[in-house]
Amino acid sequence: MKKQLALLIWLLLTPALSLANDGFGGLTATGLQFQKSTSVRMVSEDLFLSPGKVRVAYVFRNEGPSEVQGEVIFPLPPISLTGLGESMFALPEENLHRDNPVDFMAVVDGKKIKVRTERIAVIEPPFDERRKPSAGYDSPGEDVTTLLKGYGIPLSLNVAEVAAVLDRLPQPAKDALKVKELADFVDGEPPAPAWSIIVRYHWPQTFAAGRETKIEHSYTPAPPGGIFIWPEHEKDLDIYQRELIQTYCIDAGTRKALSTRLHRQRAGELTGIGTAVLLDYVLTTANTWHGPIGTFRLTIDKGKPNNVLSLCLDGMRKTGTTTFVVEKKDFMPAEDLRLLIVSGPQG
């Protein structure tokens, strides 16, 4: 039994897109990126995070003597086709067939704008548990977009569609893809693509000299998660649970809440077992703008009153039955946000 419990916790700690039936894959969330600017400052950021919705409202000011033109980018992290083919995923399957799988929308100065979408294919580096959430954006892997397009392979998240194209390729092309470890071909089974797709939303933006520009965006997040196990007594914490304590800053009060919530007796239920959502948010993209964030406000909604929330960020105060707020001045994020939201057997 102890080995089974350890395995379930291990599954929760493995990469988001490689979870088996005990978990489901998903995406890290992030803010807007911009080429490093020496004059466009983020005056304020009002961020709302929940498992079902992310909303961000920014105010930017160009403090330079002339207008600044550039591309504002909202990137998704790499989405592994191997993971999509082998595991459940937080996004509905029908969304994966769309150009805009997370329903991203942007508004500039009160007007909804047309957002461009581009995709690239990459081979991700090997999994490293010490890798930060932002690494998927900073160094996503080897770009193989041109190579795949040369074979007429679509940059699709529909694994069945991609497998059908791979299956129709001539044998020399299949052999070349297999040598490059881009796909696997086994007799009697559909071909298995081994690359990941990065979806990027972007639009050209002009920041007038001495003026403020308001940009808002929202989207449906897809945080990974799965089975979550917690012991009733501190002495029974194992190495995996202690790693969770470090990663999500689970203090004594929160550990007690987890124990109480998950070990509340109900007829016909296993105690100590719930479900968890791991919602990461890459804050450090704010450092591509000039200077610190003048006023930063974060609102977190954990979903249900009985859910347990933990993260590494000081100054958090409770503002409602499910909401928490953190406010900071002249904020320059050095670390990204990692939220743990745990639900008991009854949600």
Q: What is the pLDDT of residues 158-170, one digit of tens each?
A: 999 999 999 999 9
12 lies in a domain?
A: yes
Q: Report pLDDT for 22.
A: 56
Residue 327 placed within a domain: yes
Q: Is residue 185 situated within a structural domain?
A: no
Residue 345's pLDDT is what? 77
* Sequence-ordered list of residues with C-beta below 8 angstroms from that of 238, at least 6 positions apart, any chain: 5, 6, 9, 231
Which pLDDT belongs to residue 266?
A: 63
Q: Please state, in angstroms and rounded to a whole number, the distance separating the CA atoms of residues 82 and 159.
A: 8
55 assigned to some structural domain: yes
> What whole-number distance in Å separates Cα of residue 316 and Cα of residue 326?
5
In a domain, 155, yes or no: no
pTM of structure: 0.83
Spatial separation of the C-alpha atoms in residues 205 and 190, rounded to whole Å: 43
Q: Please indicate, yes or no, if residue 190 is contained in any of the structural domains.
A: no
% of the chain residues with pLDDT over 90:
61
Mean pLDDT, to the nearest integer, of 288-311?
93
Number of domains composing the chain: 1
User: What's the start-to-end Cα distance of the chain, in Å?
Assistant: 24
Q: Tell me what pLDDT residue 17 has.
A: 31
Cβ distance 207 to 67 under 8 Å? yes
Residue 152 is assigned to a structural domain of this protein = no
* Token couple for 264: 């509340």
Q: Residue 239 sits in a domain of what CATH number?
A: 2.60.40.3680
Classify residue 81: in a domain, yes or no: yes
- What is the extent of the structural domain holding 131? 2-144+195-343
